[in-house]
Amino acid sequence: MSDITIKPDEQVPPAEVPEMELFHSHSWWTTYVFSQDAKVIAIQYAATAISIGVLALILSWIIRIQLAFPGAVSFIDSQVYYQSVTMHGMIMVVYMLTAILLGGFGNYLIPLMVGARDMVFPFVNMLSYWIYLLATLVLATSYLVPGGPTGAGWTLYPPQSILTGTPGYDYGIIMMLVSLILFIVGFTMGGLNYVVTVLQARARGMTLMRMPLTVWGIFTAAVLALLAFPGLFVACVMLLLDRLAGTSFFMPAIVEFGEHKNYNGGSPILFQHLFWFFGHPEVYIVALPAFGVVSDIISVHARKNIFGYRMMVWAIVAIGVLSLVVWGHHMYVSGMDPTFGFFFAITTLAIAVPTALKVYNWVLTLWRADIHFTTPMLFALGFLVTFLNGGITGLYLGNVIVDVPLSATLFVVAHFHMVMGIAPVLVIFGAIYHWYPKITGRMMNETLGKIHFWITFVGAYAIFFPMHYLGLLGIPRRFYEMGQTAFVPDSAHTLNIFITVMALVVGFVQFIFFYNLFHSLKNGKPSGGNPWRAASLEWQTPETPPGHGNWGETLPVVYRWPYAYSVPGANQDYLPQNMPPIKGEHII
């Protein structure tokens, strides 16, 4: 317990923790490859995640081409189709979004934003990345094994995921499960680092309630991940045993192709409970960092403090807590005890309260603000709209009685792509445009950025908005082809072709972004240390890009919250967190 008393004349309590000892690299290998610097690890994480994300993007084209032009491309048979659906889902949710938001942005921003020299356990942090890379490689290698990757769907539901009829029965499913177990082990190492750094390694003056919302979002997401990934870990271990050792954890007595399988008495629903105990918090592991980042982008580019900062923090925490008790809404049609549906519907709809509160606060931040329509801001605004849209369809799906007819249709696909596909991806783009100057010292090209934004944003709507309608028609998800089906009108097929064309366009536009990313590295306009005139701590580093140890000789001292924009009486429109208080300032 602290015994420090703050004298009235002292603004900030004295340092409690001695300086951390950094690992100083001596060679190229330990500086850029086996680096223990969180910033390098962040870039490694992000680069790996984006690379595997490109694979997922190409897989989505395969899915869309098959749906719009069944049989037109000869190599897309049903096996390839199901493998593409599975790998696209798993890569995007786990290997791309989780890794880039926590491993990428978490590693880069947490130490800089809380004023630390590095993560608290740099070696463990490095290990976390290499295990993540190994997990990604194992996953990608499943394309090279006989039978290819698993085609069980990203939820990997047994019994079908480990029966011979499913593509990738031989090795694909094993590779997938091993890869997931590795990912969880690696992620636990990273997650512990993020949580402890936020709790125990902040700068002088940096209280929890002076942290940027980005840090709050990533921190809560990391806590959630540490509590939710155990569910997936256990599910993977048990499914692996069912597949390899012939146990019957998830497998009931079952007859396949007339052959009585050697399984007996397992519970397939148990897998669904374990999977979704991970799977639902996972949505918020992806969404909460996005919430945080978007709050910061909006505040900086609207030159206004975030509206209701404390409410925003408590909303993040409340969403995090609630997200652990809603998993059953993925299982309304699973045969789970129907009375559970009542409980899970209520908790699910309760999440709408803190979430709506956040949306209101973002809108109120924009209200009468000095909005600069920069590329990051456009992406943040795009997020607001897509997230609101996806959230509203979530209300439909959260109610048992509405969900039952809609489940397993394209309505669900449209919903979750809006809310946890498009929305976080827009934020990731916005965040890259926003922090690129800090990472490289150069600006990204604004014109290319705006082209990228408008085609991505409008294109995403063109893809997923009609999909709601297809879902309401009752078109099921995951079907390889519809064939001659009476209830599907011809117009639905036309719409399917439209969606596919838009998906191809949006996919290709991402290469403009990649061009911009690499081109600006050498040719971008030099940005200086703080091109957006932002107040939070990461923009106040002595060097840009920040050097090893982030802060040069002395650690920063924090005097105010990170949203001091347009402060009355100040002679500039923002006050950096580490600037001593000005006369008569009301310190928050």
Partner 1 sequence: MQQSAEENVEWHRQKLLRLIADWSSDQRSFKTASWRKTMMWIFLVSDTFIFSCFLISYMTVRMSTAVEWPHPSEIFALEIGGQKIPLILIAIMTFDLITSSGTMALAVNYAYDKKRKPAAILLVATALIGAAFVGMQAFEWSKLIHEGVRPWSNPFGAPQFGSCFFMITGFHGFHVSMGVIALLVIARNVWRGDYDVGRQTSYSHRTGDYEIVEVMGLYWHFVDLVWVFIFAFFYLW
Among 62, 110, 138, 274, interactor with partner 1 by CB under 8 A: 274
Residue 267 in contact with partner 1, rule: CB under 8 A: yes
Q: How far is it, in rounded angstroms, from Cα 357 to Cα 309? A: 11
Residue 195 in contact with partner 1, rule: CB under 8 A: yes
| Residue whose tokens read 């604004």 | 446
3-state DSSP assignment of residue 575: coil
Token duo for residue 308: 């209701």
Q: How far is it, in rounded angstroms, from Cα 29 to Cα 143? A: 30
Amino acid at 244: L
Q: How many residues bind partner 1 (CB under 8 A)?
A: 56
For residue 495, the number of C-alpha atoms closer than 13 Å in the C-beta half-sphere is: 18
Find the helix or strand (DSSP H, E) in which 260 lies: strand 259-260
Applying the rule CB under 8 A, the residues between 105 and 124 that interact with partner 1 are: 120-121
Here's the x/- map for partner 1, 310-349, by CB under 8 A: it reads as ----------------------------------------
Here's the x/- map for partner 1, 546-585, by CB under 8 A: it reads as ------------x---------------------------
Find the helix or strand (DSSP H, E) in which 256 lies: strand 255-256
Specify the stretch interacting with partner 1 by CB under 8 A; choose among 148-156, 230-238, 472-480, 491-499.
Answer: 230-238
Residue 80 in contact with partner 1, rule: CB under 8 A: no
Three-state SS across 453-511? HHHHHHHHHHHHHHHHHHHHHCCECCCCCCCCCCCCCHHHHHHHHHHHHHHHHHHHHHH
Specify the stretch interacting with partner 1 by CB under 8 A; choose among 47-55, 242-250, 396-404, 410-418.
Answer: 242-250
**Nearest CA among 290, 275, 322 for reference residue 421:** 290
**Nearest CA among 199, 191, 151, 192 for reference residue 175:** 151
Least CB distance to partner 1 at residue 485 (A): 36
Residue 178 in contact with partner 1, rule: CB under 8 A: no
Least CB distance to partner 1 at residue 273 (A): 8
3-state DSSP assignment of residue 39: helix
Least CB distance to partner 1 at residue 183 (A): 15
Applying the rule CB under 8 A, the residues between 275 and 314 that interact with partner 1 are: 277
Amino acid at 317: V
Among 12, 448, 488, 582, interactor with partner 1 by CB under 8 A: 12
Cβ-contact 371, 377 below 8 angstroms = yes
Residue 226 in contact with partner 1, rule: CB under 8 A: yes
Q: Which is nearer to partner 1, 120 or 419 (CB)?
A: 120
Least CB distance to partner 1 at residue 204 (A): 6
Specify the stretch interacting with partner 1 by CB under 8 A; choose among 149-157, 263-271, 279-287, 575-583.
Answer: 263-271
505 by Cβ neighbours in 10 Å (0-12 / 13-18 / 19+) ranks as middle
| Residue whose tokens read 């489940």 | 407
Specify the stretch interacting with partner 1 by CB under 8 A; choose among 28-36, 246-254, 295-303, 358-366.
Answer: 246-254
Q: Residues in the site for partner 1, rule: CB under 8 A? A: 1-2, 4, 12-13, 15-17, 21, 120-121, 188, 191-193, 195-196, 199-210, 226-227, 229-231, 233-235, 237-238, 241, 245-249, 253, 262, 264-267, 270, 273-274, 277, 558
